[in-house]
Chains A and B, each alone.
Chain A
């Protein structure tokens, strides 16, 4: 039968990848706990040089969460019996005795802070390449103004990937906010760059209704040319390049685009547990940069839209949890991008099972 696929109950996690753990602003001199790919991790900033540290959030002694303890300078003191760890996770103090057992250490995770995001490497630390962190430069560029947040969802992260790769749902789930009839009606172009692990989905609407999200922020009255160009850097980073202009206004022949409004919508999809995903979202704009009212409007409206997705995916996951193993679904043209993303995620998950060759120590 056409379009039918049989599904597993859970989207496999892809290890040996960078994941967004937090916004830089969320991590300071308080311990922050996040569970990423089922690994509980404690984050903090050092006092000495402001560096973000990520340690396994379980004390080696009795597995008390380190996030329930406290910071002492650059070290973490377990809140139960005082085992104290340095920034590399090595235990440097235990109570009552001078000798610290040699095996007393917690795992430390490679971290990169870039474009206002804190990325953590889940997998074999020997394979972590900071150069492979995908970029979202507008998040930390003074020419852009950004609002954002994070909403957790009680769902398999694959449901969020599916949701974001198929924006036709804007018309139905977000009608009156960001959705208009043209989104669901306009054909898409899908590209997969297999080597780079990138899926691109483009939808160019030549003559569309202007949804409130853009009407109120740009001040455009009347119909618009609306382009949505998605770039999904599997597994975590999703970029939606959004271009809004009065109908018929196109970029100049030299490639510049002074008469359009540009909005970069960034999502980070970070699997937490099998049934929990962190949905980081940010909206960056290159117009009305200093207008607080526009910032508040875009923040509140986009958060409302994200919460509509959260509610829908919570409901969907509950329903899927009552399905038998191997349930079926039906895909149509709008799913071309989502299907491509799933396939890349499956490949990355398989590749992530491999670990680095063990190098004999001298």
Chain B
């Protein structure tokens, strides 16, 4: 592959000091989990289950939330996923 950057970038941050992974889709949808398999499954199902803006089902948040915000400053609705 050429490595030419594209807009389709998925990102997962392992939040320092926790076991929590925080995923951000290129569409802005976000979710946290403690299992990378589950998080990638959700992420790569895009757009299924991704709701950037508009309705915010539990665990999905619009763009604008910074992935490195400490957990206690996360907006409502951004919770650890059930395991």
Interface set of A (CB-CB < 8 Å, partner B): 2-5, 17, 129, 131-135, 187-198, 231, 233-234, 331-333, 335-336, 339-340, 343, 348
Contacts and interface: CB of A to CB of B under 8 A. Distances in A.
A291 B7 CA distance: 43
Nearest to A131: B2
Interface in B1-60: 1-16, 19, 21, 34-40, 44
B1 A196 contact: yes
A4 B37 contact: yes
A191 B10 contact: yes
Nearest to B8: A194
Contacts of B83: 2
A330 to B, nearest CB: 9
A233 B10 contact: no
Interface residues of B, number: 27
Contact of B36 (A196, A234, A333): A333
Interface of B: 1-16, 19, 21, 34-40, 44, 83
Given A2-B83, A198-B1, A234-B1, A193 B34 contact: no
B37 A196 contact: no
A196 B16 contact: no
B7 A195 contact: yes
Contacts of A336: 12, 14, 21, 36, 39-40
Contact of A339 (B7, B14, B15, B37): B37
Top-9 shortest CB links A-B: A195-B6, A197-B1, A187-B14, A194-B8, A132-B2, A336-B36, A2-B35, A192-B10, A190-B12
B67 to A, nearest CB: 8
A188 B8 contact: no
Contact of A198 (B3, B15, B35, B40): B3
Contacts of A192: 9-11
A198 B5 CA distance: 8
A3 B36 contact: yes
Contact of A194 (B9, B13, B34): B9
A96 B14 CA distance: 70
21 contacts: A2-B34, A3-B35, A131-B2, A135-B3, A189-B13, A189-B14, A191-B11, A192-B10, A193-B9, A194-B6, A194-B8, A194-B10, A195-B5, A196-B2, A333-B36, A335-B36, A336-B21, A336-B39, A336-B40, A339-B37, A339-B40
